[in-house]
């Protein structure tokens, strides 16, 4: 819908919220009226099977329909249907205090912010938020989101109570269909240097059954964050682990009997192998995501353009096999030394043994990665060829049928 200018559009995604959606609509409309703000409430029905639509309409909302399932899909449809320049997003389960809409939109209307997030943490307790969400899920996703943003922009990254400028949507370029839209909005806004503010808006016990699936929605958040920031969350930690693994390996060669810490003896050799393997996996996964993800910021994917070259899978296979063979060769050397009894103190070759095993695992990982990449590319090429060829085949067959036969 074309914008009608200054005013507030409150967008509420709704899926079977018959008991609460009417209360939310009335609370939002009352807040707008009492503050003298021009506005509307848009309820986006996302496939409700109860009386949510009728209840929302009776309460004074304009209802639009989004058949594609998902919180993100519903919100994006609501944003598109909104009539005014300032957008407010919230839930239709009565958890957010919509009476505080004027406070939420004030920085937007004053020109001081492009996105305002209403924090729930001041009112988060056992009644309003499950303990695992409060102590683990939300803090973890907020930390990862901050890493992807390049800085900490909010304390509650998963709050769904937000106000934003309509013209900021084109800069955010949102596409997530599920709950992960909350993380995508923050990361995209931070990377576009939009002005982000956070205010405390409270949180109430929800009415009705929660639609949140902790594990699946959390996993979707993680995948989106990894695709948006593979350089920060995979490649960077991968390099750190590789350097740390090599350092620990060198330390184990220098101190084959271990490093004495007080009365304890620490063997760095065991951690070095783990760090080397995880570091290599982080680099490979990060490079692939950075190159192939359409969400990766411009510039990062270009640095990993070698991933897209035709000979990349073969190079991975060859390099992986070479690394694994080197590890096997070191294993053979250790075996020969053992047979010749040339090393009388077994602890003296812990470092060599760890290096050997790490090389075998890393080599196998790289080679397997190359094989899978080669198979995937071949399959994609076949599917693309079939798609390109199929229209002409259909056209040929229809032409044969339609052409009259000569007698």
Contacts of 295 (CB under 8 A, 6+ apart): 175, 184, 224, 227, 228
Q: Are 196 and 146 in contact (CB under 8 A)?
A: no
Q: How many residues does the chain have?
A: 407
At residue 9, the 3 state secondary structure works out as strand
Q: Are 287 and 389 in contact (CB under 8 A)?
A: no
Question: In which residue ranges of the chain is CATH 3.90.550.10 found?
Answer: 8-227
Tokens linked to 64: 């639009």
Q: Which CATH fold topology does 8-227 show? A: Spore Coat Polysaccharide Biosynthesis Protein SpsA; Chain A (3.90.550)
d(CA 171, CA 188): 8
pLDDT by residue for the chain (407 residues), tens only, comes to 666 678 999 999 999 999 999 999 999 999 999 999 999 999 999 999 999 999 999 999 999 999 999 999 999 999 999 999 999 999 999 999 999 999 999 999 999 999 999 999 888 777 788 787 788 888 888 998 888 888 889 999 999 999 999 999 999 989 899 999 999 999 999 989 999 999 999 999 989 777 777 677 778 878 788 777 777 778 889 999 999 988 888 887 777 777 778 777 777 877 888 888 899 888 888 888 777 665 555 555 566 777 778 888 899 999 999 999 999 998 888 888 777 765 555 555 777 777 888 889 889 989 988 898 888 777 766 665 665 555 544 444 433 333 334 43
d(CA 266, CA 229): 35
Separation of first and last alpha carbons in the chain: 59
């Amino acid at each position: 819908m074309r914008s009608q200018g200054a005013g507030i559009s409150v967008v509420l995604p709704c899926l079977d919220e018959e008991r609460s959606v009417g209360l939310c609509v009335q609370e939002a409309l009352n807040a707008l009226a009492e503050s003298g703000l021009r506005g509307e409430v848009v309820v986006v029905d996302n496939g409700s099977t109860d009386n949510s639509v009728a209840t929302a309409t009776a309460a004074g909302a304009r209802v639009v329909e989004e058949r594609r399932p998902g919180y993100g899909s519903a919100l994006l449809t609501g944003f598109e249907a909104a009539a005014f320049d300032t957008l407010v997003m919230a839930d239709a389960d009565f958890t957010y205090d919509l009476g505080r809409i004027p406070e939420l939109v004030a920085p937007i209307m004053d020109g001081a912010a492009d996105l305002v997030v209403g924090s729930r943490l001041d009112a988060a307790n056992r009644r309003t938020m499950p303990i695992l969400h409060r102590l683990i899920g939300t803090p973890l996703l907020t930390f990862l989101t901050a890493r992807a943003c390049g800085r900490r922009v909010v304390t509650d990254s998963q709050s769904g109570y937000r106000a934003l400028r309509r013209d900021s949507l084109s800069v955010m370029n949102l596409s997530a269909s599920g709950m992960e839209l909350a993380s995508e909005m923050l990361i995209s806004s931070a990377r576009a240097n939009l002005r982000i503010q956070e205010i405390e808006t409270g949180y109430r016990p929800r009415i009705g059954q929660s639609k949140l699936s902790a594990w699946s929605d959390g996993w979707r958040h993680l995948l989106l964050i990894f695709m948006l920031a593979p350089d920060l969350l995979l490649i960077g930690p991968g390099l750190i682990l590789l350097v740390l693994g090599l350092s620990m390996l060198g330390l184990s060669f220098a101190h084959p009997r271990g490093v004495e810490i007080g009365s304890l003896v620490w063997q760095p050799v065991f951690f070095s192998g783990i760090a080397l393997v995880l570091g290599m996996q982080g680099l490979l996964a990060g490079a692939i995501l950075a190159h192939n993800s359409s969400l990766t910021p411009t510039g990062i994917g270009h640095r990993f353009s070698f991933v897209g070259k035709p000979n990349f899978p073969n190079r991975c296979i060859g390099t992986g096999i070479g690394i694994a063979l080197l590890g096997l060769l070191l294993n053979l050397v250790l075996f020969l030394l053992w047979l010749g009894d040339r090393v009388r103190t077994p602890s003296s070759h812990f470092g060599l043994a760890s290096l050997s095993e790490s090389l075998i695992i890393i080599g196998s990982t790289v080679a397997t990665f190359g094989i899978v990449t080669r198979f995937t590319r071949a399959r994609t090429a076949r599917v693309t060829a079939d798609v390109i060829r199929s229209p002409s085949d259909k056209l040929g067959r229809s032409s044969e049928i339609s052409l009259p036969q000569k007698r």
